[in-house]
Amino acid sequence: MAKLGIKEMDNQETIKLMRDMAMDASQKAYSPYSKAKIGSTVLTVERKYFSGSNVENSSYGATICAERVAILKAVSNGFTKLSKIYVYSKDGWPPCGMCRQMISEFATNDLEIIIGDKEGNERVYKFTELFPEAFTPEHLRK
Ligand code: ZN
């Protein structure tokens, strides 16, 4: 195995912590209807971590995904610039379209999305790969 530099080691430890927090959050999912247990962790540019789980509602439209819960926790604590987002589910589900739109509001240029599953597989994307041509706050400033 190749030796890793400090930056890569730090990145691996960051991703492991984000995975652990997301897995823990997934156990707290409120999902009596779908039974899906999703957890997400966001990392802000200030290196603050916030996690969340999906929260369903008997009025299905009021359901909110784990990614948006984690983002709302960050934003409501004053942190609005995201550098990484981890999404954990048993089968490695990617963020839905509504989450991608909300992520675009708070995404830094190099935002990474890491999608993990119960087997330990992880897929890493640049956010711009998952959501090209996003409608962002920049469009409203012109
Ligand atoms: Zn979603």
Q: Read out DSSP for 63-98?
A: -B-HHHHHHHHHHHTT---EEEEEEE-TT-PPPPHH
Tens of pLDDT along 71-104?
A: 999 999 999 999 999 999 999 999 999 999 999 9
Which range of residues forms the domain containing residue 82?
6-140
Catalytic residues: 67
Q: Taking 90 as the threshold, does the pLDDT of residue 3 lie above it?
A: no
Compute, in angstroms, the gap from residue 54 CA to the centroid of ligand 1: 9
CATH code of the domain covering residue 131: 3.40.140.10
pTM over 0.85: yes
Nearest residue to 102 (alpha-carbon basis) of 80, 129, 122, 77: 80
User: pLDDT value at position 2?
Assistant: 60
Residue 22 placed within a domain = yes
Provide the domain count of the chain.
1
- How far apart are the CA of 43 and the centre of ligand 1, in A? 17
Relative to beta strand 107-116, strand 49-53 is unpaired
If one compares 8 and 70, the residue with the highest pLDDT of the two is 70
37 found inside a domain: yes
pLDDT digits (tens, 9 = 90+) for 92-137: 999 999 999 999 999 999 999 999 999 999 999 999 999 999 999 8
65 CA to centre of ligand 1 in angstroms: 5
Q: Is residue 135 part of a domain?
A: yes
